[in-house]
Structure 1
Amino acid sequence: MVQHLFSMNLKWSEGRNGTGNIIADNLKTKISIPREMKGPGIGTNPDEMLLGAAATCYLITLATLLENSKIAVLDLSMQAEGFVDVTNGVFTYEKIVHKPIIVVQDLSERQQKRIDRLAEKAEQSCMISKALKGNVQIECEVQIIQGSING
């Protein structure tokens, strides 16, 4: 068995509306509760970080699946949205929606179905998606565009 260890150092000052810092190998930023949740809105927050983890894991997994399937991708980008419900003062991360835009040179109906399947497979096989399964709903709204090498 191979196990990878990821670590992070955190520091927090004051109470609920305080601020903090996180430091990891490739991440250094301020943290606080977001303004939307009546916090100071300084730096990033757990909601953005969870969305970022899910979105980057999905996008990297999708890029890998497309490459392994020998699909020539001209451009790959994505928007991601996280939905947090507040009921009776209880915050619940309900849903993440991945909205990848995949630009390919050749787009037959068969190729489009193949890319759609890979986009779904990426969501099912991404490590973060698997960790969230059963707790946070994850949806994908894939947009596939036929482009050219020259743009």
Structure 2
Amino acid sequence: MNAKKLQKKIFPLPKQVEVKDGALKLDKVALKITADVHTAKQAAAVLEKKLAALGIGVCDCAKTTITLALGEAPAQVQFAEQGYRIAVTADGVELTGFGAQGVYYAAVSFVQMLDREIPCCEILDWPDMDFRGHVIESRLGSDLMEKEDWFAMID
């Protein structure tokens, strides 16, 4: 799988994707949480649910480990609290958040690419803006919301 194809599996698109030689085959994994943050437990729950859906067992005895950790952000990463790195090697996976939110976003992104075989890769991502959100157009028909409508919706 090439970088572009892997990148398209993850939404929002990660900033950097580097596919390396080899692949990680998953049949049984151990989840290891080294990040002492509440979101790491939430992230582990998201992972466990997807792993179960794929029929991949989770036990401490597995040779393959998925690690949830906190780490230092590279210099180019803006809004580091929400940034993360996913590193997949033939031996396991490291999901490193640069802040508590980043740990969770690493897991959510990894779940989107999760399969019984994953290409070895390194993914680095962070948001363009400090505040994450979404927009829902609340009017029907061809007339779009005006600025005053947006202010009314926010208030």
Question: Is TM > 0.5 for Structure 1 vs Structure 2?
Answer: no
TM range (shorter): under 0.3
Structure showing the higher strand proportion among its residues = 1
